[in-house]
Amino acid sequence: MEYLFLVVCLTAAVMDLIWRRIANIWLWSWFLTGLLLAGLGEIPILGTEVSHTASFLFRGMENVILLPSEKISEYAWQIYGALGYLARSLTVFILLHPLWNLRMIGAGDVKLCSIMAGVMGLQAFAGCILFSLFFGSVLSMFYMVFTQSFLKRMTYFLAWFRQCISCNRWIPYRKGKDMEGTIPFAPALLASYVMWYFF
């Protein structure tokens, strides 16, 4: 499953680099595929980050989840798997949605992050997103140095920050589809996923 999702992240990164957007049909198809795989038990209830020991301990709670005298049915276990996947995906979507509202991250990136959390689990995704922000910062720095736009971008950021303070509310960082000075974020997500996958 991890290898398959590596291909998903790689394709999303290529789309983001070429078209500066990730196709919704690609994201939705893999979100539903992940949901199906979680329901079939291919993705553990707590995500792929869970060790065999943790998975075994969690399965040990099956008599507590239902009636004490009953063992959990395979059908119910599949439902729990699908619900766990949905819960993780929805949690990350809700947490990252404000960044999309401020135009600091693309809608496709938010959806890709949601799918990643559904597959990986929240703990592994938290580490993954931190590495992504680091890689994204490095890429942004190289981009600004290469295009000699560092002072321009810093001036824009400070002006935006002052405007937020003067308005006493957060306002969108970019207007409309203005992509000037931005870098695609999906490659940074891919790099962090590769680190998680191999290390």
The pTM of the full predicted model, rounded to 2 decimals, is: 0.78
**Are residues 149 and 189 in contact, defined by beta-carbon separation less than 8 angstroms?**
no
Among 44-58, 59-73, 86-100, 131-145, which stretch is predicted with the lowest mean pLDDT?
59-73
* pLDDT tens digit sequence for 26-37: 999 999 999 998
> pLDDT band at residue 2, thresholds of 50, 70 and 90?
low
Give the per-residue pLDDT at 66.
41
Quick check: 132 pLDDT over 80? yes
CA distance 185 to 109: 7
Structural domain containing residue 132:
2-198
Phi, psi of 177 (to 5 degrees): -105, 30
Stronger pLDDT, 26 or 103, i.e. the higher one: 26
Q: Which of 55-69, 92-106, 174-188 has the highest mean pLDDT?
A: 92-106
Q: 155: which residues sit within 8 A by CB, 6+ positions away?
A: none
Give the per-residue pLDDT at 112.
95
What value does the mean pLDDT take over residues 167-189? 78
> pLDDT band at residue 47, thresholds of 50, 70 and 90?
low
Query: For the chain, how many structural domains are there in total?
Result: 1
**Are residues 131 and 195 in contact, defined by beta-carbon separation less than 8 angstroms?**
yes
